[in-house]
Amino acid sequence: MSGLSIGQVAERTGLSVHTLRFYEREGLLTQPVRRGVAGHRVYDEDDIGWLDVCIRLRASGMPLTDIRRYTELVRAGQGNEVERLEVLRAHRERVLAQMHDLDECLKLITEKVAVYEGRLGLRDDLRKCTP
């Protein structure tokens, strides 16, 4: 047995139950969610695993439509590796571009921080000289 309620999945993934239902509607699950008593969703470990993939992709800025596309390919089963590679490689490019942007920003911050720290240091020095 490994039937998980939506609440349990929310807890384990860090997504809200709202977001879980939303993702399902958006087609981000590789399989239709089973339903238990009273029509309640029943997830399994595979769902958690796939959601973790989705979360990592989202965290790196992949739009929902692209995740859906990738999910569809996975859902369709083996034989579409070329398309899957296309999706992933395209995203890798964007991730690398983002990293570059972050790096640029980090440089800027470091530079500015040095300037401001310098000014503060200077002020301290002056204070020391006029006690």
- Residues near a second copy (CB under 8 A) are 53, 56-57, 59-60, 78, 81-82, 84-85, 88-89, 91-92, 95-96, 98-99, 101-102, 104-106, 108-109, 112-113, 116-117, 119-120
* Contacted by 48, from a second copy, DNA, none: CB < 5 to 8 Å by type: none
Distance CA 34, CA 43 (A): 7
Residue whose CB is less far from DNA, 2 or 16: 16
| Residue (7 or 85) nearer to a second copy, CB | 85
- Among residues 18, 28, 105, 37, the alpha carbon closest in space to that of 63 is found at 28
Q: Which is nearer to a second copy, 36 or 114 (CB)?
A: 114
In the complex, minimum distance from the CB of residue 110 to DNA, in angstroms, rounded to a whole number: 22
- Of 32 and 131, which has the nearer Cβ to DNA? 32
Distance CA 4, CA 43 (A): 5
Q: Identify whether the C-beta of residue 16 lies closer than 8 Å to the C-beta of residue 10.
A: yes
- C-alpha 62/C-alpha 60 separation (Å) is 6
CA distance 79 to 12: 32
**Rounded CA gap, 65 and 94, in Å?**
15
- Residue 84 interacting entry, from a second copy, DNA, none, C-beta within 5 to 8 Å by type: a second copy
Which residues are near DNA by CB under 7 A?
A: 5-8, 10, 16-19, 21-22, 37-41, 58, 63-65
